[in-house]
Amino acid sequence: MSKTLKEFLEDCQMLGTLRLIVTSNAAVLEVRGKIEKLFYADLPKGKYANLHNKDFEFHLNMDRISKIRFETGEAKHGNFTTYSIRFLDNMEKPALSLFLQWVKPGEYESGQVEAWNALKTSYGEVWQLELSKNL
């Protein structure tokens, strides 16, 4: 596939409200928000995608992402399907997870699941990035 991670992130804007999850060995941070108004910076540490809104700031070093994986699962609380996109590093560990955020358990925003499925169809269940083409 000849698309870039930048293009993928732009495509993620159609997903609506998401739960963005970043996990380290000491903490987990979860925020709700939309992928929108992205801007990019080429810094000595790497190429970054940036998002600022009234509730949080987010910065993704795109050079550290090697694979995108689409996953479905069973909700931990409730009997419904969850939809996520994992951004994996070169060790195949999740650097970022995007979950479709439900309005009420099992009820997603109109068109959200269809948008997730369209992205999965376009990029494949697992998309190996060409690292030189991230920005």
Give the mean model confidence (pLDDT) for residues 53-63: 92
Kind plus residue range of the DSSP H or E element containing 72? strand 67-74
The pTM (predicted TM-score) of the whole model is: 0.92
Q: Which two tokens stand for residue 128?
A: 């190996």
Q: What is the pLDDT of residues 7-49, one digit of tens each?
A: 999 999 999 999 999 998 899 999 999 999 999 999 999 999 9
Give the mean model confidence (pLDDT) for residues 58-64: 94
User: What was the pLDDT predicted at 1?
Assistant: 53
Give the percent of the chain with pLDDT over 90: 81
Euclidean distance between CA atoms 114 and 22, whole angstroms? 25
**pLDDT at position 130 over 80:** no
User: CB atoms < 10 A from the CB of 13, how many?
Assistant: 13
User: What was the pLDDT predicted at 10?
Assistant: 95
Maximum distance among all Cα pairs of the chain, rounded to whole angstroms: 46
